[in-house]
Amino acid sequence: MKHLNLAIFIAVMLITNSLYAQSKHSCSTFQISSGDTIVVGHNLDDYFTVPGIVVVNPRNIQKENISWYDLRKGKKDDQPRITWKSKYGSITYNTFGREFIDGGINEAGLYVGEMTLMETEYYTDHSKPTFYHCFWMQYLLDNYASVNEVIENLTTVCIDGHSRWHFFIADKTGDVATIEFIKGNPIIHRGENLPHKILCNSTYSSDLDSLKLYKGYGGERIIDINDKENTKRTVRATELIRIFNENKPKPIVEYSFDMLSSLNLGNNQWQVVCDLTNQKIYFKTILCSKIKYTSINEFNFDTSNQLYLDIHSDLENDITGNFKPLSAKANIKIVRKTCWAIDFGFFGNIFMKPFVVLFIGSKMSNYTSEFYLKE
């Protein structure tokens, strides 16, 4: 058993190091509006073709928190626990199967998403329940309807995980907040402290400082929205938002995809646009550039079954009828597929990847089921 635990530990560290190295400069998220319509756009960028699924998560499911420590050990210890019943149904886009979300929206109109921030040091308090960062985002979608509710309850639990992330939170009223954890302290930008609703991979305050160097924002430099090499994404995105607000050159969803393409630095994998007002989610990927969409209003969230669709499916337009049940067997295949896609390095690919795909993939999938409690 000791040797097995050591193998598990090594495999987890290989996954961690691979993801950590490949995602240092990835992802962009913004919010724009047109009339009463509120839209969030998100790029997932990485240096390998990221498998994934779009998941329909039902309401009224009893759950319990799982931490990164729990996942690494493969068992729960005596850490503080919190249980809840999902209040809201949601649609999320996931990497390692169920609950391993990268972001999503719920039926109340709340959006939650992540981006890498290397300066991140998560808030810790050993007297409070701790969530693995993906599961924490699902917890927010399960329980809260607004940015205000998220902020009010931010420090009631703690976050850990293998990645250093900051978060973009938005709701259908137009409220937006960015949440960062710097030296263990939560840093929130919202309202007057969030003049430009864009977040990439630097702290929000440092991006504001960069923006002040440019004409129209306090400085003298000219913004070239096509200069990807010398102009930061946040600067170009802020200018693109200004152009949209002044001219409305295209319908809001179409313009959002144009913005995401403009922010692509060559390693974009997924593009997701969430219409919080009309409760629709649109997406396309590196393997299928056709825009697909579905609507929260089309699903029955009172069922106990999760549904899923391969995010790279070769489909177009309304794909609501193509979702199928996310069984335990299907979830294991999804987790293994993502593990197989990761580059572990030359020796890791030869000696560790087969073990990771066959054993760790199953273990991760099976352990995630412990997130759910029998009533």
**Reduced 3-state DSSP string for 194-255:** CCCCEECCCCHHHHHHHHCCECCCCCCECCCCCCCCCCCHHHHHHHHHHHHHHHCCCCHHHH
Domains of the chain: 2-371 (3.60.60.10)
Return the pLDDT at 1. 44
β 53-57/307-310 pair status: antiparallel
Instruction: Output phi, psi for 190, to 5 deg.
Output: -165, 150
Return the pLDDT at 85. 96
Task: Give the angle 238-239-245 at the CA atoms, nearest 5°.
Answer: 90
Return the pLDDT at 373. 56
Task: Give the angle 219-222-226 at the CA atoms, nearest 5°.
Answer: 135
Structure tokens at 72: 């690494």
Return the pLDDT at 355. 66
Question: Cβ atoms within 10 A of the Cβ of 35, count?
Answer: 8
Alpha-carbon distance of 74 to 69, in angstroms, equals 8
- Alpha-carbon Rg for the chain, nearest whole angstrom, is 20
Return the pLDDT at 334. 85
- Number of alpha carbons in the 13 Å side-chain half-sphere of residue 163: 25
Which candidate, 245, 218, 249, 278, places its Cα nearest to that of 31?
A: 245
Instruction: Output phi, psi for 241, to 5 deg.
Output: -65, -40
Return the pLDDT at 245. 96
Q: What is the pTM of this model?
A: 0.91
Collect all residues with Cβ–Cβ distance below 8 Å to 74 and sequence separation of at least 6.
Answer: 5, 8, 363, 367
Q: What is the pLDDT along the chain (375 residues), one digit of tens a residue?
A: 444 443 444 455 445 454 544 444 569 999 999 999 999 999 999 888 999 999 999 999 999 999 988 887 766 778 899 999 999 999 999 998 899 999 999 999 999 999 999 999 999 999 999 999 999 999 999 999 999 999 999 999 999 998 999 999 999 999 999 999 999 999 999 999 999 999 999 999 999 999 999 999 999 999 999 999 999 999 999 999 999 999 999 999 999 999 999 999 999 999 999 999 999 999 999 999 999 999 999 999 998 889 999 999 999 999 999 999 999 889 888 888 877 777 777 677 676 767 666 666 666 666 566 566 554
Collect all residues with Cβ–Cβ distance below 8 Å to 125 and sequence separation of at least 6.
Answer: 155, 158
**Cβ(160)–Cβ(81) under 8 Å?**
no
β 280-285/198-199 pair status: unpaired
Alpha-carbon distance of 196 to 191, in angstroms, equals 10
